[in-house]
Chains A and B, each alone.
Chain A
Amino acid sequence: MDRSQEITKQEEKNIEKTKKLYEVPPAVDIYENEEEILVYADMPGVVKDDISVDIDNGTLSISGVRKLSVNGSITYEEFSNVEYVRNFSVPQTIDVEKVEAELKNGVLQLHLPKSEAAKPRQIEIKTA
């Protein structure tokens, strides 16, 4: 019995353990204008219920689990079930209450609006 079989056997013995998913950072695009910060994250194969978006103490964390079932034998596999995880620091000026998230065609879209106080303001000069 070679080493790989030995390890497989050990794995089988250990029933309680579930195979951990690999954590992968999703590819993101980040844009900003005066109103908001816009984040796009590629998470193909992840459904809405398996995504979580949290903002806590200035950290935005997104995570999504891809659960695709395999039927048939694998001829080759370039992607498998993963957990997409990524954390960002967000400025305190983000209005956490108004953050919106949308999932479309495997792309997570996050709108992080800036709070009123943080928006640039034009100051009118009065003539004396």
Chain B
Amino acid sequence: MTYIIKGKTADWEMICGLEVHCEILSNSKVFSGASAEFGGLPNTHVAFLDCGMPGQLPVLNEKCVEQCIKTGFGLNAKINKHSVFDRKNYFYGDLPTGYQITQLFYPIVGEGYVDVTDEDGNIKRIGVERLHLEQDAGKSIHDMHPTQSYLDFNRAGVGLMEIVSKPDIRSPEQAGDYLRKLRSMVRYLGTCDGNMDEGSMRCDINVSVRPVGEEGFRHRVEIKNVNSVKFVMQAIDLEVHRQINLYEQGLDFPQETRLFDAVNMETRAMRSKENALDYRYFPDPDLPPLNLTEEYIENIRVNLPEMPEAKKKRYMESLGLPEYDARILTSDKDTAIYFERALHGGATQRDPKKVANWVMGDLFAALNREYIAIEDSPVRPEDLGSLIDLINDGKISGKIAKEVFEDMFTTGKSAAAIVEEKGLKQVSDTGAIEKMIDEVIAANMDKVAEIKAGKDKLKGWFVGQIMKASQGKVNPGLANQLLEKKLSEV
């Protein structure tokens, strides 16, 4: 079932492409030596170039080039050995030089793709048109003074990767998964922190609709600067219905740029194509073309970290995890790091499925409950590993382990320390258990008689009584075994 909207006059489908801006993780800005760190007091991360002083010249930060190439590999894309920087000219308060340095004609990364999961769980390939390197603008702050605006140039000149998809997206869910995949990928590669709240990943949406079966594209609307996966999906859904509604009333609308308003849940016109800007692109004469050697690109390729798809495959093939587990554990770089650290205790490897169950079960539940990111988990992966060891060694029962885990989560203490403090160690002393069984049998001879008469189910009740008497510390396997023996002796 694809995403088809049943209208009054026709069945409609949507056509969508995304332009995603990712702020590059680098110490300094793309063309100046100022810090590229997020935040800071206004105008404290500003070189002379970043506020457009006369005579200041851009010098390309090689780290940003490397980050683009890495991301290019993450997009399965062609890396262009020759790329050129262009000036995009327009006037605005937060654009200090009156032009943005970008790459229009010859981007650093060419065509690639991202595989997403659609609403039916099928894999759909979304083409990537290009990735180009450019600089970010500063920030205009309009709400601090009734008649004046304030300017903060800390962000001006921070490196951006603009990733442009082909118009291959056919549903809000595909768009959402495309963004999630991109975010996961750049975080794996360490090329962008993927933080949409802080604006280090921003999305422009291009969307149009047409009746199913119609060829060609109708008027396209661009929705600017949508800053969460959820909002992107909502904005597309709203816009698609708005467009269909207009067509079905026999109306048309201009090719225009709109804004998404998450409070009123609507898109609003910003500017139409008729008064669209002419950005007067032309090659920046201050920057020579960027020419990369085969060796340089190859050197970056061989040093790439393992990507989600490859990792997922390895988890399934060599760790024997089910597809579902492998997908969840590799969907996010920090989850995969946590899992792998919990999996390995020194030279030994723990049971992957057991570790996976703990991570995806109790750990995820606790983290979600407390709104804590996995990299900040109070239970460190090594400690979760040790907890699993205690179960495997028969020192504590699985049931006790769950309690221990909760204690670990609240106190941050190690499993061994909690087990020791609370005296939770499992009783495996046969003599002690036998004694407990004897007492329970002696007190419940009527029930023993019922068992003898064939009411086998009551055995479970006996085990329960033994567990209760021992406050859960008895090894249940052992208790069962000894109970059988004792009952036969009665």
Whether chains A and B associate is: no
